[in-house]
Chain A
Amino acid sequence: MKQKEDNVLFVGIDLGTSRSSICASNGAKEWIESYVGWPKDFISLKVLGRPVLFGSEALQNRLSLELCRPLEHGIIKEGIDRSEEAVREIIRHLVEISRPAAEQKIYAVVGVPADTLKTNKLAIRRAVSEFVHSLMVVSEPFAVAYGMNLLNNALVIDIGAGTTDFCIMHGSIPTEEDQKTILTAGDYIDNQLYSYLNEKFPNSKFNKNMVRQFKEQYSFVGKSPGEIRVELPVDGKPVMHDITNEIKRACESILPAITETTTEMIARFDPEFQVKIKGNIVLAGGGSLIRGIAAHLQEALKVIGSCTVVSVDDPLYAGSLGALKLAQDMPVKYWESL
């Protein structure tokens, strides 16, 4: 099934709200934060020295940039003038850092949230097709499942920043009924944490970007791994704050919706195969890095019987690696007719 064409570079892209990653058949493997920034004026352009900045570099220089995080809930934000342009820039950048050889054709598989409206799949196609020769769009959790060879009797839960995507695999391409997207995901945790911290420390100064960094560094559910203390300025002076309870509350706030949707998806599946699926639940995406989340979900799902929940080894690249595997396995005749 694998293509042996030297003049083709296969790439798998996971286009995420928070992070986007690319894996290519030449071994390239990169990720960036899904931010794009354009210098605000000619002075910023002169200082920064480039017409466009990406990821963490764009975030660091955000005061000199017109900053855009173009994907909301995993889809291109509509009505925002530069969103589609920003997605194009992210894709162009990702393709560039995958180092395609001159004259090499690029065949790409791009992962998008499971429930993405078709209009958005088309918008993503438009943004990507400029930089690749042939392109296929698949759902993110499906790409993860394919990459891990979970083709039958498995449930993949991809907890991203904008969305949590569910996908049941049952030996064929998942239909709409096998997939579901909810908006309770990483960004939701950020908002909760931000409001909890504001409530507890009204005199301290912090922003959403700092809150997101706290979450990424300290997130946990269930038993606390120890006291979590962070430095926040109060009246300009650095002061240590204990945020253990707030981190726990914010991270656990996404669990009821995930448990409920998991139960609902399993319940509507063929009863004969439900036991097999319960024994094969896989967490992917950045949210799977929350300490204790797999064990906590496994415990919460006991109401529907014994379940096994595990997290993928490499959540940052699981989606793009799966997409790359799909790209490599896809017969040439399919690529050429798209």
Chain B
Amino acid sequence: MISMIFRKRTHRLKESILKGVFEENLKILGKPPFRISERMPLSAKKISLSFLVILLFILGHGNSLNLPLFQEKQTIASSDTKKYFQTPENPLTLSDNSINLSDAKAFLKIPGLPLSRTFGLTVKTVMIDPGHGGSNTGTKGKMGTKEKDITLDIAKRLKMRLDKYGQYNVILTRENDVTLPLNKRVALAQSYKADLFVSIHINYLPSRPTNIIETYYFGSPSDDTTLKLAELENADSQYRMSDFRKIIEKIGNTLKYQESKKLAASIQKSLFLNSSKEDGNVQNKGIKTAPFLVLLGVDVPAVLAEVSCLSNSKEERELNNETHRENIAHYLETGILDYLNKGEASYEAKRR
């Protein structure tokens, strides 16, 4: 008797494990959860039917009595949706937010050239920051793809590409799947004396079936959504209140601000121009300012690129494809090089 109970329990356990294995594999493939159509017994069918009739009857009465049964729900849902997905009134697209050189001209009277060249400054150390890592997974797609894995993979590819030039010391803030708070990332950039800092992230827009590309540099938030995003990304900063003064002092770093803006524009242009050739529906959200602590902390030109969008199922599938990740790394490379050789390189990524 006991052995029979034990066998039944093991059988049930195995059944649930096998179902789990199957569901895991559906997830890998990006397929929706499986529903097994099983025959419903006649008695159960009768009960369900009676319940449905009673429910319809009650709802019918509710409507005739003007009960706001559905109406209220819809209002709540729509206000939520509106709040969450409100698009900024003046979204900063590349066209209307592309580099306004008037600030730089006023400051230097030399149009077009980056300060690095104006002052003969060379860029030796490029720090690439794969967003998130370890227990901080970042966003997660429906198939289970994690932002931390994709950003690390793209960062490694970008490093390999930049290493080929032999001119740059390219360093990653993390080379493995480890948790790395923002203050440590900043400390790394400082200790390696980084000359450029590029943080790689993937966007997530729940229920919006779009794929967007946007690049940030430090500044006041461009809109509510950017503020929320910055709050989210700053959550694991591990900065203390005692660091606050130093942080605030950095806000006035005009040169870094201007250079970061140019770097952001170069990267955004390369990312969008090239990505749109593969996916005609990708949206250009342009360069934006947001108070990301990681961008403020480093003293050199620093940008945060949201290179893709994990909430878009098609894009998630693509991100699981090695070629697509290699392409993104290539576009980032082109953007960075274009910033460094302003006006001499083409934004068009050439296959190498």
Contact = CB atoms under 8 A, between A and B. Distances in A.
A31 B24 CA distance: 27
B28 interface: yes
Contacts of A125: 28-29
A174 to B, nearest CB: 9
Nearest to B319: A119
Contacts of A78: 322
A137 to B, nearest CB: 6
Interface hub of A118, A137, A331 (most chain B Cβ within 10 A):
A118
A326 B15 CA distance: 11
Interface hub of B15, B20, B24 (most chain A Cβ within 10 A):
B24
B95 interface: no
Given A122-B28, A333-B36, A326 B143 contact: no
Contact of A1 (B15, B150, B320, B321): B15
B120 to A, nearest CB: 36
B238 interface: no
Nearest to B157: A79
B17 A338 contact: no
B144 interface: yes
Interface string A1-42: 100000000000000000000000000000000000000000
A326 B21 contact: yes
Contacts of B34: 334, 337
Contact of B320 (A118, A151, A331): A118
A19 to B, nearest CB: 24
B13 A173 contact: no
A136 B17 contact: no
Q: How large is the interface on A (under 10, 10 to 19, 20 to 34, 35 or more residues)?
A: 20 to 34
Contacts of A326: 18, 21
B100 interface: no
Interface string A115-138: 101110111010000000001111
Contacts of A115: 177
A79 B29 CA distance: 22
Interface in A267-294: none
A171 B13 contact: yes
Contact of B22 (A122, A136, A172): A136
B20 A338 contact: no
A329 interface: yes
B14 A329 contact: yes
A338 B26 contact: yes
Q: How large is the interface on B (under 10, 10 to 19, 20 to 34, 35 or more residues)?
A: 20 to 34
A330 interface: yes
A171 B14 CA distance: 9
B161 to A, nearest CB: 11
A79 B17 CA distance: 35
Given A119-B322, A138-B21, A330-B22, A172 B14 contact: no
Contacts of A333: 36
A152 interface: yes
Contacts of A171: 13
A146 interface: yes
Given A121-B28, A136-B25, A330 B13 contact: no
A117 B26 CA distance: 16
Interface in A54-101: 78-79
Interface in A160-181: 171-173
Interface string B126-156: 0000000000000000011110011001000
A338 B319 CA distance: 21
A122 B13 CA distance: 27
Nearest to B153: A119
A338 B28 CA distance: 11
Contacts of A338: 22, 25-26, 29
Interface in A284-338: 326, 329-331, 333-334, 337-338
B341 interface: no
A123 B321 CA distance: 8
B149 A118 contact: yes
A151 B21 contact: no
B24 A119 contact: no
Contact of A172 (B17, B149, B150, B320): B17
Interface string B308-322: 000000000001111
A176 to B, nearest CB: 9
A330 B322 contact: no
B346 interface: no
Contacts of A121: 28
B281 interface: no
Interface string B1-28: 0000000001101111111111011101
A119 B149 contact: yes
A173 B20 contact: yes
A136 B21 contact: yes
Given A118-B143, A118-B144, A121-B28, A146 B149 contact: no
Interface in B292-310: none
Contacts of B149: 117-119
Nearest to B26: A338
B63 to A, nearest CB: 40
Nearest to B177: A115
Q: Across chains A and B, which 6 residue pairs bring their CB atoms closest together, nearest first?
A: A173-B20, A334-B22, A136-B25, A119-B320, A122-B320, A117-B149
13 contacts: A1-B15, A117-B149, A117-B153, A119-B319, A119-B320, A136-B22, A171-B13, A173-B16, A173-B17, A326-B21, A331-B18, A338-B26, A338-B29
Given A329-B18, A334-B34, 20 more contacts: A1-B11, A1-B14, A115-B177, A118-B146, A119-B149, A119-B321, A119-B322, A119-B325, A121-B28, A122-B321, A125-B28, A136-B25, A138-B21, A152-B13, A172-B17, A173-B16, A173-B17, A173-B20, A326-B21, A330-B21
